[in-house]
Amino acid sequence: MRTHRPKLISLSTAALLLFSTVSLAQSQPPPAATASQSPADTDSPLAAAAHDAKARKEHSKKVFTDDDMEATAGPLPRLKMEGAENADDVVAAISKYKTTHTAEQTEQAVHVWYDRYDQMLAAAIQENQDITTLRSANMSNGYALCQESQDYQQCRNRQMAEMRGVQSDQTQVMKNNNLEVRIQHSFMKVRNGLQMNNLRYDWFKIRTTNNIDRF
């Protein structure tokens, strides 16, 4: 008489099934992350402008160090950013350099000097524009949030933070304004000195504070 015994799964087959189950679970994609911002946060034009200004500022801002100055100053004196200006010393150095170097070498030396301070001027102007855009967007968005929340204490805390931010921004804007005026004025004096030495360079343009026009 034949007896029927249940079929047993071998140890190797069980291991294979277990491995396949684990692999399938690991291959499943994780659930999509929930967006942290509501559509109202991202749809605001001012919020978008603030985000763009902040990103541009973080991307393009350059902190110039003494090492940078030494590497790019060339043979001409560095501009003094405090106290009495020294544009006349720069003109005198150019006149002296011209007597022992070719016209091409002289132009190159002036160009290196000019590019260094033109970059500083451009950075100061751009930072002031970014500060203005970002501050306007922050204040507008803060007002809108206060109107929606109706939370007096939260609004008061935000207003105090905005006031501190405005004071900090004003200090930086004034610092940049002083730098802009210093470089622009020195550029004008140096360019006049170049012309008196019969050195006229079409590329020696001076940026205006809108960072678009040059004269």
Q: What is the pLDDT of residues 36-51, one digit of tens each?
A: 444 444 455 545 555 5
pTM: 0.60
Give backbone dihedrals phi and psi of 211, rounded to 5 degrees, phi first.
65, 20
Q: Mean pLDDT, to the nearest integer, of 179-186?
A: 97
Q: Which two tokens stand for residue 132?
A: 């203005």
- Enter the DSSP assignment of 207: B
- pLDDT, tens digit, 9 for 90 and up, residues 63-108: 445 444 444 557 999 999 999 999 999 999 999 999 999 999 999 9
Q: Taken in order 99, 104, 105, 106, is the CA torsion positive or negative?
A: positive
CA distance 2 to 17: 31
Q: Taken in order 57, 58, 63, 68, is the CA torsion positive or negative?
A: negative
List the one residue out of 171, 124, 165, 169 whose CA is nearest residue 141: 165
List the one residue out of 157, 132, 127 whose CA is nearest residue 142: 157
Is the model's pLDDT at 6 over the cut of 80?
no
- pLDDT, tens digit, 9 for 90 and up, residues 125-177: 999 999 988 877 766 666 666 666 667 676 767 667 777 777 778 899 999 99
List the one residue out of 182, 181, 202, 180 whose CA is nearest residue 191: 202
Residues found in the chain: 215
Is the model's pLDDT at 22 over the cut of 60?
no
pLDDT of residue 154: 67
